[in-house]
């Protein structure tokens, strides 16, 4: 899902950046299969199909996990905030065109990044330079 205020692709050689999910049916994490098979798949049969079709070879992709956390490195008045953890990153090689599957060259896993946000993140997100986040 495009970030609020998104106007188009990144200026960096027409490359876009995508945050995607790997949990299907509430708790079935597809991450190991995605990494092993060199793919990312949309877990919905009838949602986000047009958006997935917009993912292009050369785009960057990151599998994320979203959750809520109260202990963060800044003051939130004891309230929980949304947190996004990056589980894997890669480069899109091909889009199958079915609205569900893209082929990905997954990067070697290094330290995983975690960012803290002030809203819930959707299962598919196309961030832009205008997206505002606070990383910890």
Give domain status of residue 82, yes or no: yes
Distances (CA, A) of 49 to 40, 41, 96, 102: 13, 11, 12, 12
Give domain status of residue 12, yes or no: no
- How far apart, in whole angstroms, are the C-alpha atoms of residue 10 and residue 73? 30
First to last CA, the chain: 23
Domain containing 53: what range? 17-130
Give domain status of residue 3, yes or no: no
Q: How many CB atoms lie within 10 A of CB 124?
A: 21
Token duo for residue 93: 């090689």
Give domain status of residue 74, yes or no: yes
pLDDT in tens, 88-116: 999 999 999 999 999 999 998 765 555 55
Give domain status of residue 2, yes or no: no
Give domain status of residue 36, yes or no: yes
Question: Which residues are CB-contacts of 18 (< 8 A; sequence separation ≥ 6)?
Answer: 55, 59, 60, 61, 62, 92, 124, 125, 126
Give domain status of residue 33, yes or no: yes
pLDDT: which is higher, 81 or 8: 81
22 alpha-carbon distance from chain centroid: 9
Number of folded domains in the chain? 1
Question: Quick one: pLDDT at residue 36?
Answer: 96
pTM of the predicted model, to two decimals? 0.70
pLDDT in tens, 69-81: 877 777 778 888 8
Give domain status of residue 104, yes or no: yes
């Amino acid at each position: 899902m495009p970030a609020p205020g998104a106007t188009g692709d990144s200026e960096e050689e027409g490359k876009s950046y995508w945050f995607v999910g790997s949990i299907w049916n509430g708790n079935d994490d597809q991450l190991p299969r995605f990494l092993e098979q060199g793919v990312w798949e949309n877990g919905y049969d009838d949602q986000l199909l047009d958006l997935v079709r917009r993912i292009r070879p050369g785009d960057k992709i990151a599998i994320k996990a979203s959750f809520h956390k109260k202990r963060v490195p800044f003051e939130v008045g004891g309230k929980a905030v949304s947190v996004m953890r990056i589980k894997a990153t890669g480069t899109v090689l091909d889009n199958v065109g079915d609205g569900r599957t893209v082929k990905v060259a997954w990067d070697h896993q290094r330290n995983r990044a975690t960012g803290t946000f002030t809203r819930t993140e959707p299962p598919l997100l196309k961030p832009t330079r205008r997206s505002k986040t606070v990383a910890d």
